[in-house]
Amino acid sequence: MLFAAGFLAFHGYLNAVAVVLVSATASYVGHGTFFLIALYRREGFLRGIQRFIKVDILRLESLVARFGTAAIFITQWLYGFRLLSAAVLGLSRMGRGKYFTFQLISCLLWAVMCTSVGYFFGATLQNLVGDIKKYNVYIAVGLVAAGSLVWLARNVRKRR
């Protein structure tokens, strides 16, 4: 979805800076919430999460143990692990200050990079095809639809 927002920002429908700030803020708040819940409600969180999500928590914990603070940046790019990794970091009892500082940097980098990909996709497409202004909305809807289909296919496959 963020790629489509970047594409729309290139064509003037959205403000690229606003897209980055809103997406980084939403990501930061969501990750921070999961981190704090896992940090302060450890046992209840573990019981609750196991009922809904089949996740290899041992894999995430080994990633945190192996990479430490870098795990915050690495897990930002692992599909399906983003929110859960915040909880695992909370379960690992990483310090709040350390976590929130590095998470802020990670969320900003993620938002800038994903928005930029969509933005430069729009620029490249315009250079290849020419004036595509009349197709912008269709292309953006296509990007959102393609992303949604990939997400849906992955979730259906996970549940089997």
**Spatial distance between the Cα atoms of 37 and 39, rounded to a whole number of angstroms:** 5
Instruction: Categorize the per-residue pLDDT at 36 as very low, low, confident or very high, splitting at 50, 70 and 90.
Output: very high
**CA neighbor of 76 nearest in space, from 120, 119, 111, 49:** 111
**CA neighbor of 76 nearest in space, from 40, 112, 48:** 112
Q: What is the pLDDT of residue 81?
A: 73
**Selected residue with higher pLDDT from 3 and 24:** 24
- As a whole number, the mean pLDDT across the chain is 82
- From 27-41, 42-56, 96-110, the region with the lowest mean pLDDT: 42-56
Say if residue 93's pLDDT is above 80: no
Q: What is the pLDDT of residue 102?
A: 93
Q: What is the pLDDT of residue 107?
A: 93
Contacts of 99 (CB under 8 A, 6+ apart): 35, 72, 89, 90
Say if residue 54's pLDDT is above 80: no
Supply 132's token pair: 């595509």
| % of the chain with per-residue pLDDT over 90 | 24
